[in-house]
Chains A and B, each alone.
Chain A
Amino acid sequence: MTRWIVLGFLAALALGPAPSVWAEEEMAKIPGGKFVPLYGTNKKPVKVKAFWLDRRLVSGGDFLKFVEENPSWRCSAVKRLFADEGYLQKWRGDLEPGEADILAAPVVQVSWFSARAYCRSKGKRLPHTEEWELAALADETRPDASADPAFGRKILEWYSRPTGDKGPGPVGSAGKNFYGVYDLHGLVWEWTEDFNSIFMTGESRADRSPDEKLFCGAGAAGTADPLNYAGYMRYAFRSSLKATHTVANLGFRCARDLP
């Protein structure tokens, strides 16, 4: 796996995007599809085009290589404009994450700007929220397990528990879904390219102001599936973020368009 990442990194550096060589190993092809997102009152499904998604979250080790190559993203050098004071706070030093489990665990305490820069350095991008949500509908055996209450309950139970001092477990430890993508549920929250588009959408809907969408009463009335508490939580979590924020249980993975 590591070799592939390194190879991919070199390929991206030397040739730019060259997905066909290594993508199957490192990324999963998520076929396009339609689903009804949580927001919106009209229950209109959104269409998502097929895309590649990293099978694994970016680990502490992956991110260490990135900051080695890109000094401006080191803890001591990063501009406050791009990451708040919590950026990589648990690391011992700029190039010293500390214990081995930090290297193996998904990288957390990274801002949206830094996650984006990382993906760009690989010739990739962050997944869009709708892409992420589509891939995350899958459980181990089905591409869409959202109708199964047990699936929702399991996710909800994970959301309900605080992270604790130990932080998240190693990348890959929360299991693989139908597409062969690991840890979409059960390890950390994940940045998406348009994480705050639900509250701060450019598209103005006449019937309500954007910040009402998922608050209080509007939450229940204005969403497609009031039973989907787990979904609520993801949208609520994302909308609490600013692009400079760093959070102890928020990591990321990258995506890319089909060639």
Chain B
Amino acid sequence: MGGLDARSFKKRTVPGFFLAGVMAALLLAQVPAAPAETPALPEETAVLTAPPQVPPPITRKSPAKVVVKLEVIEEQKTLAEGVQYTFWTFGGTSPGLFIRVREGDLVEFHLSNNPQNKMPHNIDLHAVTGPGGGAASSFTAPGHESVFSFTALNPGLYVYHCATAPVGMHIANGMYGLILVEPAEGLPKVDREYYVMQSEFYTKGRFGKAGLQPFDMEKAIAEHPEYVVFNGAVGALAGDKAIQAKVGETVRLYVGNGGPNLVSSFHVIGEIFDKVYVEGGTVANENVQTTLIPPGGAAVVDFKVQVPGDYVLVDHAIFRTFNKGALGILKVEGEPVAAVYSGKQSDLVLKPEGEAIQKLPEEKAPPVKKKLTKAGRIAEGKKIFERICLACHQMNGQGVPRAFPPLAKSDFLNADVDRAIGVVMNGLQGKIVVNGEPYENIMPQLILTDEEIADVLTYVYNSWGNKGGEVTTAQVKKVRANTKK
């Protein structure tokens, strides 16, 4: 608060006004001085990081005065492929920037509200001991900045959020983040640390509906989100944005839940949490599969990765993962460790009508040999699909809005089997309408044998609500013959 002191000093000293003014200007230009009662604390400015990154561990052995500067920015960002949303953010990202301080630190918090913003905002940090967690003290009009201080008394991982009326809407628009108060003795050392935060979005348009989507108040009150996501967008932790580790490393996730409404059943597919600092507190549970994280709560999970592969971060309330976006990837690289996990050792098919389990033909099986069952076709087709088609048409055939048409419950697909065979055989270019949505893109010609085409289409027709049936090699050959004319 040195700036204000300087200004009141200027006001009091009417004689020598000019000189005082110069002094005040000099004082104003400097970093605000520490409050008088804590003169001994060294001062530093906190390093804040955008998700999924976490600021480096604190190596100090004693408290400091830590200046935190956070700016509220309202801006349009991508919520999902083709879907825009006006996010209200702490620091330009949703979830907001990660803050890391040490137990006992005196935190001088500067909350500024970007002049282009429409709304007043404030911040309630759950790490604050005091009324409103700082909310009233940080209430700030657009174009202004508020400053308040607190001492981080309790170690732990805490949520912060905006608490300006209407609170629900401020949170629903993306105003939450995490602040870690490291215990004085520090946390056990790990190789990788990441910041993951779950939250929901209530949009007027249904999941995937393209364009700028406004906030839907009724859905928020009914607690029926269209999106449940990690780190503020569908796919924010997938593809080239997946978080990474190497075999043998220990990974720590700082996991928060911004809500506003849903409790997260946080789970990493294929991993067991060696340690969970339950509810972000001091007690560490061990060997946990799924940990509950309430809105406005957090947890710290530690685990060692022993086997390479993709580990999927999910909310195990699983429709949220596969239908609303709550899916992230931890990519672990390194040499396979067969003693821990073998990989697939055999592939057997359960014959529905018989008691016997039948073994599938080996891959080196003679190429002309005809498959015996439709189930066999589906199994083979699935492999082909995952290798070739999945990249565009997606895991569950849902496609990508405006880019790649869906195969799931697709009217275009189900209307005409021969046409579908032709598309896989020869590719497709130009405008088509699938389930009422227009698509204009190019599907390349795929180099597949007639049998493979039959397999993959049989798989597709027997998946995701399509009409079923079997596409035979003979049918494919017929289409090929007709195409050649």
Instruction: Name A's B-contacting residues (CB within 8 A).
Output: 84, 86, 153, 156-157, 159-165, 211, 214-216, 219, 227, 229, 232-233, 235-237, 239-242, 245-250
Known: A227-B217, A237-B141, A247-B142. A163 touches B165 (CB 8 A): no
B311 interface residue, CB < 8 Å from A? no
Q: How far is the CA of A50 from the CA of B221 in the complex (A)?
A: 37
Q: Is B143's CB under 8 angstroms from A247's CB?
A: yes
Given contacts A216-B124, A216-B167, A235-B165, contact A240 B118 (CB under 8 A): no
A residues within 8 A CB of B221? 227
Chain A nearest Cβ from B298, distance in angstroms = 19
CB pair B116–A160 under 8 Å, yes or no, is no
Q: Knowing A214-B165, A215-B135 touch, does A237 contact B74 (C-beta < 8 A)?
A: no
Instruction: Select A160's contact among B118, B120, B132, B164, beta carbons within 8 Å.
Output: B118
16 A-B pairs (CB sep. < 8 Å): A156-B217, A160-B173, A161-B118, A162-B75, A163-B116, A215-B163, A216-B132, A219-B165, A227-B217, A232-B165, A233-B119, A236-B164, A240-B139, A240-B141, A245-B141, A247-B143
When the two chains form their complex, are residues A160 and B215 in contact, meaning their CB atoms are under 8 A apart? yes
Candidates A156, A162, A227, A241; contact of B141 at CB < 8 Å = A241
Residue contact B143 to A229, C-beta cutoff 8 Å: no
**CA distance in complex: A87, B133 (Å):** 31
A156 to B172, CA, bound (A): 14
Write the residues of chain B forming the contact surface with A, with a CB cutoff of 8 angstroms.
Answer: 74-75, 86, 114-120, 124, 132, 135-136, 139-144, 163-167, 169, 173, 214-215, 217, 221
Which residues does chain B contribute within 8 Å of A248, judged by CB atoms?
115-116, 142-143
With a cutoff of 8 Å between Cβ atoms, the chain A residues found around residue B135 in the complex are 215-216
**Complex Cα gap A164–B163 (Å):** 23
A240 touches B215 (CB 8 A): no
Chain B neighbourhood of A157, CB < 8 A: 214
Complex: how many Å from CA A162 to CA B164?
A: 16
11 A-B pairs besides A214-B165, A232-B165, A248-B142 with CB distance below 8 A are A153-B214, A160-B118, A160-B169, A163-B118, A215-B132, A215-B165, A216-B132, A219-B167, A233-B165, A239-B139, A245-B143
Structural contact, A219 and B166, CB atoms closer than 8 A: yes
When the two chains form their complex, are residues B117 and A163 in contact, meaning their CB atoms are under 8 A apart? yes
The reply to whether B116 and A232 form a contact with Cβ atoms under 8 Å apart is no
Given A160-B214, A161-B86, A216-B163, A236:B120 Cβ within 8 A: yes
Per the bound structure, the CA–CA distance linking A240 and B145 in Å amounts to: 11
Pairs of residues from A and B, 10 with the lowest C-beta to C-beta distance, nearest first:
A240-B120, A162-B74, A214-B165, A232-B166, A240-B141, A236-B165, A219-B165, A232-B165, A248-B115, A229-B166
A214: chain B residues within 8 A (beta carbon): 165
Which A residue sits closest to B139, measured CB to CB?
Answer: A240
B117: chain A residues within 8 A (beta carbon): 162-163
Write out the residue numbers on chain B whose beta carbons fall within 8 Å of the beta carbon of A245. 141, 143-144
Kindly list chain B residues whose C-beta atoms are within 8 Å of the C-beta of A162. Answer: 74-75, 86, 114, 116-118
What residues on A are CB-neighbors of B164 within 8 Å? 215, 236, 240
CA distance A156 to B119 in the complex (A): 11
Instruction: Specify which chain B residues have a CB less than 8 angstroms from the CB of A156 in the assembled complex.
Output: 214-215, 217
CA distance A130 to B451 in the complex (A): 76
The answer, among B75, B86, B116, B217, for a CB contact under 8 Å with A229, is B217
Given A153-B217, A160-B215, A241-B141, check contact A229 B169 (CB 8 Å): yes
Q: How far is the CA of A20 from the CA of B214 in the complex (A)?
A: 45
CA distance A163 to B74 in the complex (A): 9
Give Cα A247 to B143, complex, Å.
6
